[in-house]
Structure 1
Amino acid sequence: MSESILAAATAPEAGARSLVETVAGPIPLDSLDVTLMHEHLFVLTPDVQQNQPHLWNEEERIEDAVVRLTAAHDMGVRTFVDLTVIGQGRFVPRVQKVAARVPLNIIVATGVYTYHDVPYFFHYRGPGRLFEQPEPITELLIRDITAGIADTGVKAAVLKCATEEEGLSEGVERVLRATARAHRATGTPITTHSNAFLRNGLLQQKVFREEGVDLSNVIIGHSGDTDDLDYLKQLMDAGSMIGMDRFGLDNFTPHGTRVKIVADLVAAGYADRMVLSHDCPCHIDYFTDEQRAEALPDWDYTHLHKRVLPALRELGVSESALRTMLVDNPRRYFEQVSPY
């Protein structure tokens, strides 16, 4: 299956930027091939690991990640987008150790992940704050993209932000606007966490539009949680791609429903506005491994190839449409625009 997708992939458009940053450095867009666009390696609460070291075995977790990513590669995946950012325990040196041992391209993100308040590091600093200064969130994001993350030399290639609750808290709106400004300053594309049940991808688009963002540079993530096709079409008709990116999270939306949503939208002509993924971590400390295995047995990086793609084919989705969602759309997304 994966070879048919790769063999039929179209060439990048003339004049488009031809490189994208990965953990191992810049690579040609042609090298992305089949891409999981919304995943995680480790989602952690660092204060807990640092103060309760019995809960964390570094080498064991790295080994497990190598096994999981190698299995994805064996199924046909060639690029893995790790959207773990500040607020989710991102630690790039650990990601580098995994990347050095797997035959995958790994792309990392920058951003601030919050459902309500900004981290206290930013609380008193910035425009209109106790200590008046240019927005430090935007400065941090731009540095991760242009200079690299900490002293790793790894540059972020995606901007990530989140809107989970109804409405916009001051902190979330601040992060959205800082993200939009970092995008415009660098051309780096944006991917969001959204709550599709609340239809708040529309709110994200509203803020981005107010900041002058071209919405074609935005993926509204977790859109596949809802079967409200009118809402999903509204997001795409405004210019954004949508992330059908929680396959395996059947406790949110059942497998069959998720598959049918994608098939129905492909039939309606929207294959060029969707990307596919799992939103899956190798390890997440929100629950134990045993709880995860019992509640979410299909939540892993091979689920798309094992169950989702065969189910989409059964519903009439063509190889061409699968290629579009897995290869062409990710490549087009990373054809960065110039700052504007």
Structure 2
Amino acid sequence: MPDNTLVVNTVLGPVPADQLGYTEVHASLLSVVPGAEYAPDITINRAEVFEILRDKLTAFHNAGGRTIVDASGMFHGRNLTIALPILENLATATGVNIIASTGMGPEDMLGGYFLTPQTNPPTPWPAEKFADLFTKEITEGMVVPRVERRAPAGLIVTLSTEAGMTATDESLLRGAVRTSLATGVAVSHTFGADPLAEIDIALDEGIAPERLVLRGIGRREAPVSDIAARGVWLGIDGAGQPALVKELIDAGHVHRIILSSGAVGVAKGHDAPEAEFTTVLTDIVPELLAAGISQADITQITDTNPRELLAVR
């Protein structure tokens, strides 16, 4: 039976975890490459962004979607003054629960301040400073630039450099885990070249495996069975993955799969992937049913698993 005392942090405030319904854990609403907002050839029109996202979230709701996580972290669009108010207004207008995230990465997407703060000699930020930054975004509210703090983040996201985790990437991950331990909010980590070593870093900080989702399973020949053996959540994004999902279900891992579209609603400064917020519901779920996966297993993946991950514990 669900625990009705558990809640999830949304941009409109806490929501009972058992009311999330179908949930997209890994998507981006407004995704902006840091600095693109200053480019002369890029415009970010608040009304236009709102209309595009409202239409996409309405389609998501009509297809059966009830909750979506903007898993792009602090500095990929949410740092803009317009972003958090847009997310709040979208949640009100569409009836979709919207969960925003704190966190950042990889290193080359951080501003210079976070790489060489005011120290002599200059040194990268240590894990405890990242932990303090992320924790305040949960306990005090996310920053609306130059305005205020409001609404707690509901997921902590970090990303490692694809070629291999840097020292700053490691500080980010350790800081994210310390934030999770302090707040009860889960961590989503996109791994680099050595996912097992990165899991071990997180576990070394004391996080329970069920509070960590490793995003990017299925790419770059990741050692899926070894990752699954660590007990973490298995984050699978995008279309073209039903075979992997079936393989994991057959191997007994249905209770550890987080399946998402990886879609981007509005992209600025980069190309959006060829996926919509509805992709799992309209494309992947029918393929899984046709492959013999039971509706009970699908509901476990699309509704129950995200609820278990996102509930504040």
Asked if these proteins are the same fold (TM beyond 0.5), I'd say yes
Structure 1 residues not aligned, in runs of 5+: 1-10, 248-254
> What are the within-5 Å matches in structure 2 for residues 99-114 of structure 1?
99-114=91-106
Q: Distance in 1 between matches of 2:188 and 2:136?
A: 18
For the residue of structure 2 that corresponds to 1:224, the secondary structure is coil
> What are the within-5 Å matches in structure 2 for residues 79-98 of structure 1?
79-90=67-78, 91-98=83-90
Give me the identity figure in percent.
Answer: 24
Q: Distance in 2 between matches of 1:116 and 1:60?
A: 29
Aligned to 1:145: 138
For the residue of structure 1 that corresponds to 2:101, the secondary structure is strand
| Closer/same/farther in 2, CA of residues 284 and 117 from structure 1, 3 Å limit | closer
Amino acid at match of 1:241: W
How far has the Cα of 1:118 moved from its partner? 4.2
Aligned to 2:157: 160
Aligned to 1:273: 256
Residue number among 24, 27, 32 corresponding to 1:36 in the alignment = 24
Structure 1 residues 218-269: Cα deviation after superposition (integer angstroms, max 9, x where no partner): 00012133565xx21221221101111222xxxxxxx2xx111101111111
How many equivalent residue pairs? 304
Aligned to 2:186: 189
How far has the Cα of 1:333 moved from its partner? 1.1
Structure 1 residues 156-175: Cα deviation after superposition (integer angstroms, max 9, x where no partner): 01110011323321211111
Q: Distance in 1 between matches of 2:2 and 2:187?
A: 20
Contact (CA 8 Å) 2:34, 2:109: kept in 1 or not?
Answer: no
Farther off after superposition, 319-328 or 118-127 = 118-127
How far has the Cα of 1:95 moved from its partner? 1.9
| Closer/same/farther in 2, CA of residues 245 and 126 from structure 1, 3 Å limit | farther
1:232 and 2:221 matched: no
Q: Distance in 1 between matches of 2:214 and 2:32?
A: 23
1:170 and 2:163 matched: no
Amino acid at match of 1:215: P
Contact (CA 8 Å) 1:79, 1:105: kept in 2 or not?
Answer: yes
| Closer/same/farther in 2, CA of residues 137 and 309 from structure 1, 3 Å limit | same
1:223 and 2:193 matched: no
Question: TM-score, with normalisation over the residues of structure 2?
Answer: 0.89
For the residue of structure 1 that corresponds to 2:26, the secondary structure is strand
1:12 and 2:12 matched: no
Amino acid at match of 1:27: V
How far has the Cα of 1:212 moved from its partner? 1.6
How far has the Cα of 1:55 moved from its partner? 2.5
Aligned to 1:262: 245
Aligned alpha-carbon RMSD (Å) = 2.4
Residue number among 68, 79, 86 corresponding to 2:56 in the alignment = 68
Contact (CA 8 Å) 2:36, 2:42: kept in 1 or not?
Answer: no
| Closer/same/farther in 2, CA of residues 17 and 207 from structure 1, 3 Å limit | farther
Amino acid at match of 1:268: A
Amino acid at match of 1:220: L
Contact (CA 8 Å) 1:92, 1:152: kept in 2 or not?
Answer: no
| Closer/same/farther in 2, CA of residues 277 and 319 from structure 1, 3 Å limit | same
For the residue of structure 2 that corresponds to 1:78, the secondary structure is strand
Aligned to 1:335: 311
Contact (CA 8 Å) 2:27, 2:68: kept in 1 or not?
Answer: yes
1:302 and 2:278 matched: yes
Amino acid at match of 1:276: L
Higher strand residue share:
2
For the residue of structure 2 that corresponds to 1:167, the secondary structure is coil
Q: Distance in 2 between matches of 1:309 and 1:209?
A: 32
